[in-house]
Structure 1
Amino acid sequence: MQVRHLMTTDYVQIQKDGTAREVLEQFLSKRQDLACIMDNGNFIGIVTKYALYRLLLKSHSIDTNIHDVMIREVVTVNENESVYFARELLLKEQVGHAVVVNSKGQVTGVMAKSDLIRGLTIETNNLVHRLKTLMNHLQESVLSVDLDLKVTSINASALDYLELKEDEITDKKITGCFPDLANDLNQCIHTEKSRLKRIKLASKTAIASFTPIKEWNSITGAMVVLKDVTAYETVAKELETTKRMEKILDSALKLAYDGVVITDHSGKVTKVNQGFLALYGFQSQDEVIGRPIDSVAPEFPSKKTVHSNEPFEGQLMDINGNKAILTQMPIIQNGKRIGEIFKVLYQQLEVWKDLFRHMEKLENEISYYRSELSKVSYQNDSFAQIISKSKRIDTLKKEAYIAAQTFSNVLITGESGTGKELFADAIHQTSGRPGAFVKVNCAAIPENLLESEFFGYAEGAFTGAKKGGKPGKFELADCGTLFLDEIGDMPLSLQAKLLRVLQEREFEQIGDIKTRKVDVRIVAATNKDLQQFIQEGKFREDLYYRIHVIHLRIPPLRERPEDIPLLCSFFLEKFKSRIPKTISGLTREAIEKLQAYEWPGNVRQLENVLERAFHFTSGKWMEAEHIILEPTATVFESGNASVTNAISANRSQPLNRKQLINETEKYALIQALSKAGGNRTKAAKILGISRSTLYQKLNKYQIKEETQFKIE
């Protein structure tokens, strides 16, 4: 508990020219015996009740100035300190009060001994409550007794284990209820030694740990902890049951009409039925048991399923001239995959055709309703279009929602492709502003046209001007939101004019003398470092602080890999709505490949990669081989030799593509650090990555400063 939770905030304040009368009146009014003396709002000392008594005895006048008895050397304590710190401080200084101040040294209250005692009492009660709660939540049964063997405490587990109610045993001797426990507890008290033994309580068996309780170096009682081991005595019976279940499983496999094969975690066959043997032409189980499923049934997609905990269902294939449907279900135990069950349907498949058609119809209907539900969701929640389950993005959405309710300008920063425009659009939709959402890409408009695009022009303003003139973006966005994308690329000349509009909320069209008033909310976005631009003279500092009222930074995709599976599902459904394909999803290996990539182009790049893979996927699952990723490492030249030659020079064997990418990336890190003289911030800017990403890669490749950035 902190001091600010205990202090008296309604404390006595007296100006330095105050009198004893004023202090007494405040003491009586607020029932306090300490006053803080202030001078023009500044705290300069205190006057205590006893100092006031001495002043009255000395001067015999109640209107005497308090200046002579003011104490300037005052004991103060920060409002964020704990009550224990405050207690030690008062004891050390031997005072009964302390003035409470904040981090700026301003008085926020007064704390007396009574406040401190109240706080310590609350802390003690909380501690007792926590200890009692902890004991009640222990799985083991705990019971304690005093020297007379009266029960002093018992937890919920013990009450349940002993089948008692608390009032049936608390403050009563344990001798009559459980004599075995009573004898051992009594012996523990007299010998002052712990003991461990196995005991029987009714129909239960427990391991009992008896321990003496000491307080102030004296034995005050004993406690026993009971661990129920009844369940362990049934292990032998369970093993026997397991054997019977295995025999039942063997009998079920024999009766199965279609082919069934079971493998272990490494993909080796452990059980197989007659239907499977007949399909593949084997004579006995001995020809199959213990062999990898790849060699027994090469048609099975085991490489894809061996690392997956998801079921694999309904793939049509040809096996030994027979049309067959393969389904696979992983066997999960304690959250881990311990094997698979493969089932092959290959007899009388014609019966299933009508069922398959019906299932396909249902899938199409589900897809339609899912799409309609998403549309309704987007209408109700503008931020629903931002697909993520990252806690950082969730927090960012909440901050953006709060920002949308204000009238302040918003600056959104983040790398290209992170979704800055989506956030800007959601802020406008949520804001309730009646005007339009007008977008301007400051990097895409020629510099000589920017002013007319922003402010418009009057008729005849220049040669070629439209008759009647043309409204600018500010006029179009009146009562709405103007989204300035890539604001870091805006010329300095236009920055000054934009600043005037933001300050005065008015502008003039080119060639016009009429001043137009506007109510426009600015949402700006950039992937540039505007503070660096300010230092380089490329961006106005006053404009920066105008648009930097509320700052939202969107993290890059590489910092939230947990979003990749969700984004993949979203984009896959989006592609399937344009070109119907029977792709169920991505395999585990494909997802892991995507999550291991750096994504310099972020979500936009992910969508492009998935779109390419979507077109080249012919099966039901998008596999890792369909995912084509560009290397992210920067290639440096050293003299006339390329990085590849530099890396491979001391290698006895050539590197594969993945090794070459890793080594190239490591070489690029070392080159950047060398150029930056070991400065991590400069090295990150050279590589075009964030500082946190740089540290992750340094840890990944074990690059340390002691090595002078040599490849280890």
Structure 2
Amino acid sequence: MFSIPELKKVEEVMDIDFKTIKRDISVRSAVDEMIKNNRRTLMVVDENDTLEGIISMTDIHNFKRDNPDIDNINIERIMKKNIVSVSKGVSIDYCRDIMIKENIGMLPVMENERVIGVLRQEHIRDFLYMHLEDYGITLKYIIGQIKEGICAVNKEGIVILWNRFMEERYDIKSSDIVGKPISDYLENTICERVLKTRVGISDVYYTYKKQNMYGLVHANPIFFRDEFVGVVCTELDITEARNLSYELEQTNEKLKYLQDEVKNLSNGIFSKILGKSDKIEKAKSIAKQVAKTNSSIFIWGESGTGKEVFSRAIHEYSGRKGAFIPVNCSAIPSELFESEFFGYESGAFTGANKKGKPGIFELAKDGTVFLDEIADLPLNMQAKLLRVLQEKEVRRIGGEKTIKINPRIISATNKDLEKMVKEETFREDLYYRLNVVEIKIPSLRERKEDIGILLHSFLEEMCAENNRPLLSIDKEAYKILENYRWKGNIRELKNTVENIVVLSGNSDTVTAEDIPSYILNSVEEVSSEEEYPMDLTKATSKLEINNIKKALSMTRGNKAKAAKILNIPRTTLYYKMEQYKISI
């Protein structure tokens, strides 16, 4: 049943049982021959069997209306001499088109100037009817399997084709919509617009049939022999198109920032910020995104999380021409803040450099100023800093000349600035000026999956610095370091690794014995004392979940044995496993 349309040749369909007569016989004899052979049409040939013409009962009847006595008239006077014929080997489709064009019902088939068969309308009709159903089923199946919507309507807007993709997309069965106006089911379609304009359209559209469903539709008018017969629409789900567009954008982005990506090989670029956890990747993504802008950036993170490393990476990635100037606000004496920030002229105060000194903003100019521990900036300096940021100019102490600056400001702290704003220990207007974009750097406790990456990197670095062969670390030691809370974060981890490398002796493997005792004690305390919430209901649930999982682990998933260990009925165990969504 599943087949392809065969391109039949004329000799496979033609009638070879045709009759011929000579051109010199009478009409009476021709009629007798027709009656005798039950033929309405005869081929007229000469003595060499070359086709001379065709005579039919219709030709004789039409001639007789004006000439009643025609029995003895020679058929040469009546026969059609301008014969349209085809040669052996041509296709049935070609023959059909000729018969339609010439408005004839029969075609002689020739070979070497002789008639070898006759093709009539009924031959073509019978052949097409025999295969039409099979072709229809084949076509319907193929169109149904196409992963693209196909809809066809005639010139009156009646749906004549609606494939499976369209059925699933619009929840409209083909059996319901075919044979009915498309406007009865869908409103203001692109298909209807093409019906009116007869001009092809490609467009994205939205339909209310399903929420947030968009389609990319190509609608084209169909003309058959210059006559408009309908519209065919193909539809592609916009999600797939968006995916392609996204991939193209990503490729263009990589090309556009190729130089910046190459820079990632140098110190301070984002590739040097170790870790693959979701939280650190999100922080790096935000940092990259805002690095090229001029917006002020506020970095929040606990001590030792790498705030300065992030700020240096942002500066390098930004491509700014000026320098990166880091300032630890907590390390500057209050009386020196102004001179450090804005600089001073020669003789501005006792003990000053005779040549004067530029301040950090002047040094940075078109670069980046990193204000670490910004929460420790005195209130009087907060007001002056805000003025500099707003006016983008500084004046040295003791000087009269204003210096234009345009540095990027990155500030950082581990304190709660919002709380300080409420307590009026930090200026609200400065806070919002600095915190245009906030980047939160997660603590090491929030990204335990990165500990392994950092641990091996620091081991490699410290072994190289101390001329030691690269140490490996056993599972027990690794587990202890992974479970430690690392209040000092990356800085504490790095110092711990250095301690281990220096004191490891001749061993080539780090074991639990090499780990500082304070870490071992801390991990033991955490493991021995399970933390439970104060809410008794939540605490009970947590205890039940832990014990059920432990029992199932001990029995290797045997529920009957686990229920016995837990001292509860098996049905209760099934209920609680379903309640807490515990799987084996």
TM-score, normalising length from structure 1?
Answer: 0.39
Which of 1 and 2 has higher RCO (CA within 8 Å, sep 6+)?
Answer: 2
